[in-house]
Amino acid sequence: MIAGLYTGKTELEKLLVLSCLFSIALVGFRVFYTGQWLFVWLGWNLFLAAIPYLLTRTMIRKPSWVENTACFAVLVLVWLVFLPNSFYIITDLFHLEDRKIVPLWFDLALIFSFAWNGLLLGVSSIRQMETMLRCKWQQLEDWQFVYPMMLLNAVGIYIGRYLRYNSWDVVTDPFSLAEDLLYLVAHPFRNRFDWSMIGCYALLMALIYFTLKKLNRVW
């Protein structure tokens, strides 16, 4: 079964699979050692984080989807809805505390490994989407795509962490979501700390993206 995960994968994808398996193994060991199911939900978060990458990976392998403007537009919207899940795991570091039953360093490595995998999946997915958009619009500058994308990402992280919405609430509870977003936009001063968080995370993710992109060229 594990060998099947490597079939047809690039070197980067093989490393991503290994890294995700490492995170899952840490959770499995923690459950075995403590008898507690704490942090098992990180596996679900990692699955949601992988959806945008799996979507863009499939789109790249099916050029007809990209060439069909209507199909491409729908897929991009679906991608946008799920993309914040990839970066959302960063905020799971909020759950880090000394629980005594296992060393603090172990839980730090566990949560950080999931956050790192989420970042890698998100950055890789955005890079793939940028490549597809460049094929359709050659004049598109990377900053014209990345900065707005990271701002939307940060808003998605905010509404997930603090407003407690999920990606599927776009369909199941759109009116409540729209009302809360409208309040956020209509009262920027009243929500200044919320916007501070959004702006900070947008810049952080943009820096991470551009840094990893440049490192890829250097190496």
- Per-residue pLDDT tens over the stretch 173-208: 999 999 999 999 999 999 999 999 999 999 999 999
Predicted confidence (pLDDT) at residue 7 exceeds the cutoff of 50:
yes
**Which tokens is 208 given?**
């991470």
What is the residue whose two structure tokens read 């890079």? 127
- Give, in order, the Cα–Cα distances in Å from 150 to each of 4, 40, 74: 34, 28, 20
pLDDT in the model for residue 1:
47
Angle between helices 41-61 and 69-82 (to 10 degrees): 160
Closest CA to 52 of 84, 11, 10, 19: 84
Distance CA 26, CA 113 (A): 9
Summarize pLDDT for 97-149 with one digit per residue, the tens.
Answer: 988 899 999 999 999 999 999 999 999 999 999 999 988 888 888 889 999 99
Contact assessment for residue 120 and residue 19, using Cβ atoms and an 8 Å cutoff: yes
Predicted confidence (pLDDT) at residue 219 exceeds the cutoff of 60:
no
Contact assessment for residue 48 and residue 82, using Cβ atoms and an 8 Å cutoff: yes
pLDDT in the model for residue 2:
45
Between CA 101 and CA 107, with CA 105 as vertex, the angle to 5 degrees is: 60
Instruction: Determine what percent of the chain is predicted with pLDDT higher than 70.
Output: 95
